[in-house]
């Protein structure tokens, strides 16, 4: 009997929180929904851990909520458990968190009820979240990320730094849930900061410099390039022109691999200055950076001379092609291999924004894996 009474109190408490949160969220603020879920997650966590509510409590409460609030969405048992996960993973933000201070859930259940029933709690909860003990916490970014995106991040990452990274990506790129899962699966975080570059030192606007760092990976998998189809030659015999040709033929795939908001301008783009001709391999425009991006393809290992050539392209593009409202052009060397520490050491003396990335193709996969795949013609038929 006592347990049923507890469930009735829980339903009433959560129902009040939902209605208050819906009223505030009607004004179009994502942060109110997150605050509501954070509060409910706290309440569920305090009462469901250590057997205080008993087995099956969340399922029972969810069913009763849906009876009392017909048409209610987002409060299935699994989603209520997600709210608990959301709170528990971010309990460090709550200065009164029993998880943070090590108190038992039973001792604090009445505190959670009182907080949830407070008239101002749902509207202003985000102001009470303590971020003083979290260094550089991106509070505005946190409240701009939709709840489902938060849950996918929490499910698939281990560290706070990873969470920050993917939250920023969600906001900057307006990622769908599928898009977010894809970049997590690709482990973009692992590659996010190890692209050798000089962006911070050469791009005057720090926000744009950070965007540029996040825009490019240190390695790209160009799986649409199959050197066996190109001509049964050893890869060492295939020069940049062949790779460039394959990229042009598959430019849509390349842009999807390369990143977001890229528009293809052309390949072997003709530049002329003082009677000297230059032909950068690939030229793009990126809307997010509001800048041209020139890519120079190299078949082998990185060489310092590549940066000098790229710097010349950037100088001419900025002087002769860039429009007044655009930011300075960014350059990228795309080569087969590079000693990152060496590149970082060499690149620091250049005053144009440049980075060096590497690429792999289908033929770089381990032989056992390639042999396990169906023949190319068979794959084409399947697709």
Phi, psi of 186 (to 5 degrees): -75, -5
Domains of the chain: 2-191 (no CATH), 199-382 (3.40.1350.10)
Give pLDDT, residue 302: 95
Contact 296, 332 (CB under 8 A): yes
- Name residues whose C-beta falls within 8 Å of residue 143's C-beta, 6 or more positions apart in sequence: 30, 31, 34, 126
- Name residues whose C-beta falls within 8 Å of residue 244's C-beta, 6 or more positions apart in sequence: 267, 268, 281, 282, 297
Environment class of residue 319 by beta-carbon count within 10 Å: exposed (0-12), middle (13-18) or buried (19+)? Answer: exposed
SS (H, E, C) 282-302: EEEEECCCCEEEEEEECCCEC
Length of the chain, in residues: 383
Residue 377 parent element (H or E): helix 376-382
Residue 226 CA to residue 235 CA, distance in Å, equals 10
Nearest Cα to Cα of residue 288 among 210, 359, 204: 210
Give pLDDT, residue 209: 84
CA distances from 181 to 19, 144, 170, 172 (A): 31, 18, 11, 16
Q: What is the pLDDT along the chain (383 residues), one digit of tens a residue?
A: 456 667 777 777 777 776 665 544 444 567 788 888 898 898 899 888 866 787 888 999 999 888 888 878 888 999 999 999 999 999 888 766 554 434 444 444 444 545 544 444 444 455 555 555 565 678 888 888 999 999 999 999 998 889 988 998 888 777 889 989 988 988 778 766 568 999 989 998 877 887 888 788 888 877 665 544 444 344 444 456 666 677 766 766 777 777 778 898 988 899 999 999 999 988 999 998 999 999 998 888 999 999 999 999 999 999 999 999 999 999 999 998 999 889 999 999 999 999 999 988 766 544 543 444 444 444 344 33
Give pLDDT, residue 15: 73
Give pLDDT, residue 163: 92
């Amino acid at each position: 009997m006592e347990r049923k009474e507890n469930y009735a109190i829980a339903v009433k408490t959560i129902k009040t929180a939902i209605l208050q949160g819906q009223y505030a969220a009607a004004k179009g603020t994502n942060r109110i929904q997150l605050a509501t879920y954070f509060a409910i997650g706290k309440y569920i966590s305090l009462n469901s851990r250590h057997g205080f509510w008993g087995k099956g409590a969340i399922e029972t409460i969810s069913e009763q909520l849906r009876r009392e609030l017909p048409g209610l969405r987002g409060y299935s048992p699994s989603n209520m458990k997600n709210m608990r996960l959301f709170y528990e993973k971010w309990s460090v933000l709550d200065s009164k968190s029993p998880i943070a201070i090590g108190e038992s859930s039973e001792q604090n259940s009445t505190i959670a009820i009182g907080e949830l029933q407070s008239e101002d709690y749902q509207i202003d909860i985000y102001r009470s979240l303590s971020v003083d003990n979290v260094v550089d916490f991106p509070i505005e970014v946190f409240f701009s990320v939709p709840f489902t995106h938060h849950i996918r991040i929490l499910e698939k990452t281990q560290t706070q730094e990873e969470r920050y990274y993917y939250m920023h990506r969600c906001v900057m790129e307006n990622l769908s849930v599928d898009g977010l899962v894809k970049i997590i699966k690709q482990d973009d975080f692992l590659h996010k900061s190890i692209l050798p570059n000089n962006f911070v030192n050469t791009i005057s606007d720090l926000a744009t410099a950070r965007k540029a760092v996040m825009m490019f990976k240190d390695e790209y998998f160009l799986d649409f390039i199959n050197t066996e189809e190109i001509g049964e030659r050893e890869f060492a015999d295939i020069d940049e022109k062949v790779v460039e040709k394959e990229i042009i033929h598959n430019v849509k795939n390349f842009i999807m691999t390369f990143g977001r908001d890229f528009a293809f301008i052309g390949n072997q783009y003709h530049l002329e200055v003082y009677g000297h001709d230059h032909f950068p391999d690939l030229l793009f425009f990126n809307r997010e950076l509001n800048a041209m991006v020139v890519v120079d393809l190299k078949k082998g290992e990185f060489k310092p001379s590549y940066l000098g050539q790229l710097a010349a392209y950037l100088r001419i593009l900025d002087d002769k092609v860039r429009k007044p409202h655009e930011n300075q052009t960014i350059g990228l060397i795309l080569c087969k291999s590079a000693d990152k520490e060496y590149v970082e050491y060499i690149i620091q003396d250049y005053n144009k924004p440049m980075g060096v990335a590497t690429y792999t193709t289908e033929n770089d996969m381990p032989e056992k894996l390639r042999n396990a795949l169906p023949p190319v013609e068979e794959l084409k038929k399947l697709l």
